[in-house]
Amino acid sequence: KLGSLRGQYVSVKGKETGVYAYLGVPFAKPPVGPALRLAAPQPVEGWEGVKDATQQPPICVQNKQHMLDIADKLNISVVIPDISEDCLYLNIYTPANRAHDAKLPVMVWIHGGAYTMGSASIYDGSALAAYQDVVVVLIQYRLGLLGFLSTGDEHMPGNLGLLDQVQALKWIQQHIHNFGGDPDLVTIFGESAGGVSVSLLLLSPLSEGLFHRAIAESGTAAMDILVSNNPLPMMQVIFYHS
């Protein structure tokens, strides 16, 4: 047991009963400081008392203005939380009318954004949870240099953002039953870089047993624009311009 959470009730248009939302739930230790910044995620520690889970979590380090520009071009109004290295959080939406002993299917969304942008907060899982009677989980993972910088060897193997996704899935296996979800009925789904992530998780032995169905949308592990087996050229460019 990690501790208690205070969530919030969210109404859903067209449904008599809405959902309970738990926002900014930590699934790993904050990846900050010399020991954890460029290291694999570590399991989250418990807390005392009741943790507030009614506010969107900070988003992982990225170009916030780029997200705002895209939203403006699409004529979408968005509120983007602050940026922080401390960003390994997930949002959970669970039907408010579920039975006490419910074991509902779990849908885990992995956001896209070319592994350089995106967050859980720009998506709302309430309608999917209410209309399909499922538990929806939106996860965050480290992006850009903090998530995918690699030397291609043991000194900096990289893919920390993917390891963050694995850690989130481990957390879900351990704790989603507390939100009415069935850990034996987990579907991962994602779009663009999220679809690539789904495809890579299907191939990785590290995710064995952590999910049971997968939906990759507009992205697979075959997209060489996002997946490379030779990170050295990019590393050299980064160090040259540092």
- Domains belonging to the chain, first-starting first, are 4-241 (3.40.50.1820)
Give residue 62's Cα distance to chain centre. Answer: 15
Phi, psi of 235 (to 5 degrees): -60, -45
Predicted pLDDT at 240: 64
Read off the pLDDT of each residue in 226-239 and give the average, rounded to a whole number. Answer: 70
The residues, any chain, with a CB within 8 Å of residue 102's CB and separated by 6 or more, are 95, 180
Longest dimension (CA), the chain: 58
Q: With a cut of 60, say whether residue 242 has pLDDT above it.
A: no
In the chain the first and final C-alpha atoms are separated, in Å, by 43
Q: What is the pLDDT of residues 10-52, one digit of tens each?
A: 999 999 999 999 999 999 999 999 999 999 999 999 999 999 9
Radius of gyration over alpha carbons of the chain, in Å? 18
Instruction: Give the residue carrying structure tokens 């399909």.
Output: 132
| Mean pLDDT across the chain | 93
How far is the C-alpha of 192 from the C-alpha of 37, rounded, in Å?
26
The percentage of residues in the chain with a pLDDT greater than 90, rounded to a whole number, is 79
How far is the C-alpha of 185 from the C-alpha of 102, rounded, in Å?
12
* One-letter identity of residue 114: A
Q: Whole-prediction pTM value? A: 0.93
More confident residue, 143 or 71: 143
Read off the pLDDT of each residue in 70-97 and give the average, rounded to a whole number. Answer: 94
Q: With a cut of 90, say whether residue 153 has pLDDT above it.
A: no
